Amino acid sequence: MTAANSGEKPSGILRELYYHRSMSCLDLSKSIKKSLPNTTLRLNELIAKGIVVENGYAPSTGGRKPVMYSLVPDFMFTVAVAVDQFVVRMALMDMQHKMILHVHEATINFYEDSRYVQDLADEIVNYLAASGVNKDQVAGIGIAMPGFVDPKKGINYSIGGSPAIAAAIAQKVGIKVYIDNDSSVIGLAEQKFGEVGNTNNAMVINLGWGVGLGMILDGQLFRGASGFAGEFSHIPMFSNNKLCSCGKHGCLETESSLTVIVEKAKDKLKKGELSSLTIKTLENENIEHSFRLVKDAALKGDKMAIGLFSEAGYNIGRGAAILVHLLNPELIVLSGRGATAGKIWEAPIQQAMNEHCIPRLSENTRILISKLGLHAELLGAAALVMEGFDENHLDSYAASYKRKMTV
């Protein structure tokens, strides 16, 4: 009798193998907190279904080498969608969380497009059609997006007119949809694939067009009572009278986002400040490409560009000092699009924390730059699907894969 028809709860083997790519039976047993005989039984069931395969032996530590197991990469897929205010990116990923199709980009304005949900659904439909993958091979669609997202209800309250985005897209595409706030998703990615790992208490700062936050508390992604936790961007920190995207004034975002870096670069160039950048180049490009130009200039030593990152980094460090005082994290990870600028962030953020933190609280808090880069949000969106996937449905995917292999 299998788990699918025995009434037993799913074992968690699928998720563990997905996140770790390859594990021994003993390690799986420890991870899912099941006895070794029980884990062996479940593992053999998955092997019989063609979902799991042996893939060699682990390095010997003196005794018998353990057999390693992994998921068959193409028995099932996820569609990962990363939404920001201006651009949508999507990727088709296999069970080794590898992108098997090019990352597709589409320009859809999150704030201004009245047909945003419909346009996003159309992009997903067209992308899947071009992939040649059947819907019955797709475990789900994970969507990371800005705004006030309730992941349990599948609602984004920041989208006017069509907040029930998960249900609307699922109906259009014909595949189950999971959504969550982009910064929470990036936090999930860093926990499962990145710098957080087994760290129990970590803050993942999403450096983007805003400044988001994914919080790992006691080893769990913390979303708050309604799923809205982590609105780091909107901590009121400045008396600058600058209007924030949230409608308030003086938020952290108004002095530290990537949008602000680009806009300040344009202002300085208009005032005649010397730089390798030119106002003509920045104004003729979309904001994403403009940011890349400013970032590249900073990495090449451009004084003006470096100054912009230093100023924004210092302000982020002031915000991070608040997090340290409230939550005493072991680790702060800088992730998201802005993390591609690398170590240029470290010095100003550390300086601000040195100035504004009580030393006893901050002395054991490390700051790391994510290595996931732009892929963080996509990896997190794929993980979102695997977190919600019901292993009791594995039989249908195994059957679909078997049909595909016999064609």
Model pLDDT for residues 267-322, shown as the tens digit of each residue = 999 999 999 999 988 987 788 899 999 999 999 999 999 999 999 999 999 999 99
Mean pLDDT of the chain: 90
Residue 96 has pLDDT above 70, yes or no: yes
CB burial of 210-231 (b: ≥16 within 10 Å; e: otherwise) equals bbbbbbbeeeebbbeeebebbb
Mean pLDDT of all residues in 139-155 = 92
pLDDT-based confidence at residue 161 (cuts at 50, 70, 90): low
- Token output for 234: 């909107």
Sequence length of the chain is 407
CA–CA dist 395, 48 (Å, integer): 11
% of residues, the chain, pLDDT over 90: 70
CATH H superfamily, domain 195-371? ATPase, nucleotide binding domain (3.30.420.40)
The mean per-residue pLDDT over the stretch 154-164 comes to 80
Residue 147: the pLDDT is 87
Please answer whether residues 71 and 65 qualify as being in contact, where contact means their C-beta atoms are separated by less than 8 angstroms. Answer: no
Q: Which residues contact 385 (CB under 8 A, 6 or more apart)?
A: 78, 79, 80, 139, 140, 141, 142, 178
CATH 3.30.1360.70 for domain 3-71, yes or no, is no
pTM over 0.75? The answer is yes
Residue range 64-78: mean pLDDT, rounded: 92
Mean pLDDT of 96-114: 82
Note the pLDDT tens digit of each residue in 227-237: 888 899 999 99
Its sign, for the CA torsion 184, 186, 190, 192, is: positive
User: What is the reported pLDDT for 261?
Assistant: 97
What DSSP character marks residue 338?
A: G
Contact yes or no for 124/144 (Cβ under 8 A)? no
Over range 12-16, report the average pLDDT: 92
- Token digits of residue 129: 């059609």
In whole angstroms, give the CA distance from residue 206 to residue 214. 7
How many percent of the chain have pLDDT more than 70? 94
pLDDT at 374 over 90: no
Please identify, in words, the CATH class of the domain defined by 77-182+377-406.
alpha beta
Looking at the DSSP bridge assignments, the partners of residue 369 are 334
Question: Nearest 5°: phi and psi at 56?
Answer: 105, -165
pLDDT of residue 113: 64
- Among 24-38, 69-83, 146-160, 254-268, the least confident range: 146-160
What ranges do the domains of the chain cover? 3-71, 77-182+377-406, 195-371
The pLDDT tens digits of the residues spanning 166-191 come to 999 999 999 999 999 999 999 999 99
User: What tens digit of pLDDT does each residue of 118-142 get?
Assistant: 899 999 999 999 998 999 999 999 9
Please check whether residue 151 is in contact with residue 179, taking contact to mean a CB–CB distance below 8 angstroms.
yes
pLDDT at 3: 40
Task: Please give the pLDDT value at position 8.
Answer: 46
pLDDT in tens, 186-243: 999 999 999 999 999 999 999 999 999 999 999 999 988 878 888 999 999 999 989 8
- Domain 3-71 and domain 77-182+377-406, same fold? Reply is no
